[in-house]
């Protein structure tokens, strides 16, 4: 089973604010687990969120519109 991260731990791993992570949760943009009244995010859910938001760099051909 994946370790469950608290909201502050998740914010630290993303190098963002706790407020940003809470907004992701409120908007259901990241998968989370409710443990009683506490919210936790699994490491795998955090990894999937980061991978889904990753943008591949452009190639030289895509930038110039011609073959290199």
Q: For the chain, percent helix, then strand, then coil, each to nearest 5?
A: 45, 15, 40
Q: Rounded to whole angstroms, how far apart are CA atoms 3 and 7?
A: 13
pLDDT recorded at residue 1: 72
pLDDT recorded at residue 61: 84
pLDDT recorded at residue 48: 96
The string of pLDDT tens digits covering residues 36-64 is: 999 999 999 999 999 999 999 988 888 88
Sequence spans of domains, the chain: 4-51
**Coil vs helix vs strand at 43:** helix
pLDDT recorded at residue 68: 55
How confident is the model over 13-31, as a mean pLDDT?
A: 97
Answering whether pTM is above 0.85, one says: no
Q: How many CA atoms lie within 13 A of 61 on its CB side?
A: 3
């Amino acid at each position: 089973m994946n370790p469950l991260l608290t909201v502050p731990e998740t914010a630290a791993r993303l190098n963002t604010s706790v407020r940003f992570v809470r907004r992701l949760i409120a908007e259901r943009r990241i998968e989370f687990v409710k443990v009683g009244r506490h919210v936790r995010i699994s490491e795998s859910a955090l990894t999937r969120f980061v991978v889904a938001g990753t943008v591949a760099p452009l190639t030289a051909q895509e930038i110039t519109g011609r073959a290199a």
